[in-house]
Amino acid sequence: MNSKYEPLFEPFTFPNGVQVKNRIVMAPMTNFSSNPDGTVTEAEVKYYSRRSAGVGMVVTACTYVTENGKGFNGEFGADQDDFIPSLKQVATGIKEQGAKAILQIFHGGREVPSALIPNGDVVSASAVPTEGEGKPVPRELSDQEVESIIRDFGEATRRGIEAGFDGVEIHGANGYIIQQFFSPHSNRREDQWGGSIEKRLAFPLAIVEEVKKTVAEYANGSFIIGYRFSPEEATTPGITMADTLVLIDALADKGLDYLHVSLNDFWSTPRRGIDDTRPRIEIIKEKVGDRVPVIGVGSLFTADDVLKAFQTGIPLIALGREMIMDPDWVQKVKEGKESEIITKIDKDKQQELMVPDPLWQAIVNSPGWFLGVE
């Protein structure tokens, strides 16, 4: 290995004492490849297993915690105990290769396709649709339903524990229900769950507390709890960088094991809300300080890209598309073969890459999603 990359291979210890073998994480990515009944497929398990030998930790695609929270065709479920054997297949496939397995838990809220959920009942914080043509107007959740969804996050966590996962990542990013409650665009409530920024924080923080309570009851102290967030929204009103700093300040005091930033570009700068032109990731790191580790992500394709990102002081770097294009990314750097890292999808390599058909079709039919498709 080229000595300059050695810091990427130093072990990292989370606040709860759990250690991962290096600083590279496989990012959560929807793969559209589960069975219609919500169970995982053999192809999906092989896809994860193929990418788990090099990285220190794998975060799965999101799994829905409530039946009406299913966000995608081919998404696997965690909303009932019957799914525990299915979940266990994923956890085992990852852990057998030496990586920590983290289950990302989620509810799609107003972003779910009505055809995928019971009675087409799309719900959210308020009856405000996503911007864009043809978006359904969601039904505002009652107070009782809000409390029920919070409990569902706890129950999904319990199932993850019973399935053998090493942790969960609460999916508070990408416009889904947790973000919908925090956003002034989608949350127009005037009760305990909305209004001021403090009240819009109530739902995300309640989920964190429910997950922590579940972990304390059903797991030992080595179960990892992370939280993923998106720093800003393009809509007005919407989440600004200033709002996000309030959010992560609150989260940093919750005893989490990590915060995971959802960015397409690691080096992107704030849109609005604060007078600071530094990359968002640096501002975020400065705000949370040493209270909680941060995972950074966003279009880091080469070993030098990752090293430069790591040198900002962010302790863990997540790779998403990069791990689909080259499952051996980490091993190549470790073996001094970083020049052989593949940064384009080869249309003839689906079997070799072990990418399930639904994900493969999404990749090759979505120009611009991956840097290059040859």
Domains and CATH numbers, the chain: 3-364 (3.20.20.70)
Mean pLDDT of 150-164: 98
* Residue pLDDT, tens place only, 171-227: 999 999 999 999 999 999 999 999 999 999 999 999 999 999 999 999 998 999 999
pLDDT recorded at residue 371: 52
Q: Which two tokens stand for residue 165?
A: 């996962």
| 176 given a catalytic annotation | yes
Measured CA to CA, the distance from residue 86 to residue 65 in angstroms comes to 14
Amino acid present at 348: D
* Residue pLDDT, tens place only, 308-349: 999 999 999 999 999 999 999 999 999 999 999 999 888 899
Report the alpha-carbon angle 210-44-218, nearest 5: 25
| pLDDT band with cut points at 50, 70 and 90 for residue 374 | very low
* Residue pLDDT, tens place only, 273-298: 999 999 999 999 999 999 999 999 99
Measured CA to CA, the distance from residue 49 to residue 95 in angstroms comes to 8
| pLDDT band with cut points at 50, 70 and 90 for residue 368 | confident
Contacts (Cβ under 8 Å, ≥6 apart) of 344: 325, 370, 371, 372, 373, 374
- 176, 218, 227, 258: the active-site residue: 176
pLDDT recorded at residue 98: 97
> In this structure, are residues 94 and 50 in contact, taking their beta carbons and an 8 Å threshold?
no
Closest CA to 197 of 235, 152, 248: 248
- Which residues on neighbouring strands pair with residue 116, listed in sequence order? none
State the pTM of this model.
0.97
pLDDT recorded at residue 364: 87
* Residue pLDDT, tens place only, 50-101: 999 999 999 999 999 999 999 999 999 999 999 999 999 999 999 999 999 9
